[in-house]
Amino acid sequence: MKTGLRYILQVINYSIFMLIVWYFSIAPAYTHLEVCQAVVVLAFGHAGQPVSECRKRTPEELAALPPNMRNPMVCPRERSPIEVELLLDDQPLFIETFNPQGMSGDWGVDVYERFNVPSGKHNLKMRLKDSVRVKDFNYVYEVDVDIKAAQLLTIDFQADKTGFSIR
């Protein structure tokens, strides 16, 4: 008798579980994007410039060091924070400052941000500053884009090649 009751309760429990899974597989309705929207993705990895220039050690500094550590040049490991601005039709879409990672602040940063924007013709302006030694943005890129509905527009950054690029 106990085994029969156990099987009946298992059937009831599994049926309830399957009904819950079935309900959530068809409802509530979810739309990824509104009808006239597109997606802009800002994704890149970049390391800022060193905080200061390398300098030559004085003879007194070299004499104070053990013989195996007497490198005549000393270079800071710490890197500058990265400031990123993304403007859509001169309205700020994204403004952020990223501090370098790592124990010594000498790693780069990885940026991934996703924005839903209305489709149509837009002016897209991207700015990046990766050095505390300069006052204004090092990299500025402005372009007019025609974004179609449900289009994915990717913004990448490579300092050694072209700066900002759009795909």
| Residue 1 predicted with pLDDT over 70 | no
What are the residues whose beta carbons fall under 8 Å from the beta carbon of 128, sequence distance 6 or more? 46, 82, 83, 84, 85, 137, 138, 139, 157, 163, 164
Residue 124 CA, distance from chain mean position: 18
pLDDT at 112: 97
pLDDT one-digit tens code per residue, 129-152 = 999 999 999 999 999 999 999 999
Full-model pTM? 0.76
Tell me what the pLDDT averaged over the chain comes to. Answer: 93
| Residue 32 predicted with pLDDT over 90 | no
